[in-house]
């Protein structure tokens, strides 16, 4: 569960920023240049860059797909997200200066604005680096027939793979200037992306930004933007731990039954020890120690087996990415989690010894030796 949460977190933060600043009640904001300078001056902020976020259609010879189109600054975007690392074919900087490519008929293509597609999206539309794709915006100029869609060809200059199917199948990037032209936004943008030094202090820095920028702007951190997902993961991890405790409790009944049988079989030996001066507390300690040895042995064997099982599922258990967010189960073992599980198992093992030990301690030597 820890590995899954951290893998999801890494993939989300690899594609989106730590904090997003937007104007309250508006889809666009003006004066973003001065705002970026002000944001970057806040302690804890590493970099900030404007972006544009719109929904469009992509059309190719083989299909049509609705996607999220992000307009980014090719020079500053790698400072905020991991887009440069995720691009497997091409370069982010090719968005601003797409290279001239040779078409299938041998002619040189005229340079069109560049676009970077997700791996799954490119496969679905049958596109490769150098191909053309049409971007269709449902919001276009108004004519006598009403609002007409706006269509513009783009050249595929890169393909990225974030490892998260949702992003790879429905996200594309173009340069910020081309996005402003295509959507007729002038010098406005959708918002500002912010990267901070420590992702876990993003909430504190977002609160600081809200105080500095004033009530006209809203700064939200990555945990707030993905609150439902991470709350579900936290709840799921808690429930998994409770389920593990219940399984251990059921397994502890074996300790209870084993010690109860030992007490029944060793009544004569217990009576002799008591007759020789052993106190009830000493008898209890004997059987408690017996149960703890069982618990320690089980824990000592179980932890290496757990590590081996985790290694197997991490390397050999794969998923269909069209159904799940990930292709395999990520594993990250934390010492605190192992200690918590081991201590819980030992505590339950100790609790299972109390009743049989109490039975052995209260055994009367006369009754046990009467027929000997």
Instruction: Specify if 10 maps to a domain.
Output: no
Region of 277 on the Ramachandran plot (φ > 0 left; ψ -120 to 50 alpha; else beta):
left
Instruction: Specify if 337 maps to a domain.
Output: yes
Domain co-membership, 274 together with 328: yes
Nearest to 9 by CA among 221, 158, 314, 159: 221
Tell me the CA end-to-end span of the chain in Å, nearest whole number.
58
d(CA 165, CA 162) in angstroms, rounded, equals 8
pLDDT in tens, 38-55: 998 889 899 999 999 999
Amino acid 145: pLDDT: 62
Amino acid 149: pLDDT: 79
Confidence of residue 143 (pLDDT cuts 50, 70, 90): low
Domain co-membership, 56 together with 91: yes
Residue 110 has pLDDT above 80, yes or no: no
Name the residue range of residue 105's domain.
16-225
Residue 209 has pLDDT above 60, yes or no: yes
Residue 208 has pLDDT above 80, yes or no: yes
The pTM score is 0.69
Q: What does residue 260 show for φ and ψ, rounded to 5 degrees?
A: -65, -40
Domain co-membership, 214 together with 244: no
Domain co-membership, 259 together with 344: yes
Instruction: Specify if 333 maps to a domain.
Output: yes
Q: DSSP string of 48-60? A: EEEEEEEEEEEE-
Domain limit, last residue, from 196, 225, 254: 225
Domain co-membership, 57 together with 197: yes
Instruction: Specify if 268 maps to a domain.
Output: yes
The tokens describing 353, both together, are 């010894």
Amino acid 106: pLDDT: 57
Instruction: Specify if 49 maps to a domain.
Output: yes
Instruction: Specify if 9 maps to a domain.
Output: no
Other CB atoms closer than 10 Å to residue 291's CB: what's the count?
Answer: 24
Range of weakest confidence among 164-168, 214-218, 310-314, 316-320: 316-320
Nearest to 343 by CA among 246, 245, 253, 251: 245
> What angle, rounded to 10 degrees, do the helices at 267-275 and 227-265 form?
70
Q: In whole angstroms, how far apart are CA 366 and each of 179, 229, 357?
A: 94, 65, 19
d(CA 282, CA 285) in angstroms, rounded, equals 5
pLDDT in tens, 329-369: 778 888 888 898 888 888 888 888 888 888 888 877 776 66
Chain mean pLDDT for the chain: 84
């Amino acid at each position: 569960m820890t590995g899954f949460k951290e893998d999801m977190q890494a993939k989300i933060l690899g594609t989106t920023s730590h904090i997003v600043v937007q104007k309250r009640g508006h889809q666009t904001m003006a004066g973003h240049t001065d705002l970026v300078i002000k944001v970057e001056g806040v302690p804890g902020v590493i970099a900030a860059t404007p972006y544009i976020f719109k929904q469009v259609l992509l059309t190719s010879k083989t299909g049509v797909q609705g996607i999220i189109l992000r307009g980014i600054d090719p020079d500053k975007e790698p400072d905020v997200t991991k887009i440069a690392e995720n691009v497997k074919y091409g370069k982010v900087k090719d968005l601003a200066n797409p290279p001239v490519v040779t078409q299938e008929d041998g002619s040189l293509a005229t340079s069109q604005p560049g676009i970077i597609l997700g791996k799954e999206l490119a496969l679905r539309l049958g596109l490769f680096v150098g191909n053309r794709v049409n971007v269709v915006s449902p919001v276009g100029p108004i004519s006598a027939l009403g609002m007409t869609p706006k269509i513009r060809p783009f050249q595929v200059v890169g393909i990225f793979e974030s490892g998260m199917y949702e992003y790879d199948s429905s996200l594309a990037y173009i340069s910020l200037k081309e996005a402003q032209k295509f959507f007729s936004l002038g010098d406005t943008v959708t918002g500002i992306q912010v990267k901070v030094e420590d992702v876990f202090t993003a909430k504190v820095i977002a609160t600081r930004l809200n105080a500095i920028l004033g009530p006209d702007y809203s700064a939200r951190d990555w945990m707030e933007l993905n609150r439902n997902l991470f709350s579900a993961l936290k709840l799921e991890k808690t429930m998994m731990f409770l389920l593990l405790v219940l399984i251990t409790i059921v397994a502890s009944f074996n300790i209870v039954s084993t010690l109860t049988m030992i007490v029944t079989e060793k009544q004569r030996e217990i009576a002799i020890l008591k007759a020789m001066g052993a106190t009830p507390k000493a008898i209890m300690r004997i059987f408690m120690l017996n149960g703890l040895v069982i618990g320690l042995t089980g824990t000592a064997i179980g932890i290496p087996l757990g590590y081996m099982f985790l290694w197997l599922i991490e390397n050999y258990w794969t998923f269909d990415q069209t159904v799940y967010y990930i292709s395999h189960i990520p594993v990250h073992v934390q010492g605190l989690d192992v200690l918590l599980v081991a201590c819980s198992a030992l505590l339950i093992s100790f609790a299972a010894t109390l009743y049989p030990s109490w039975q052995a301690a209260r055994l009367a030597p006369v009754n046990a030796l009467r027929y000997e």
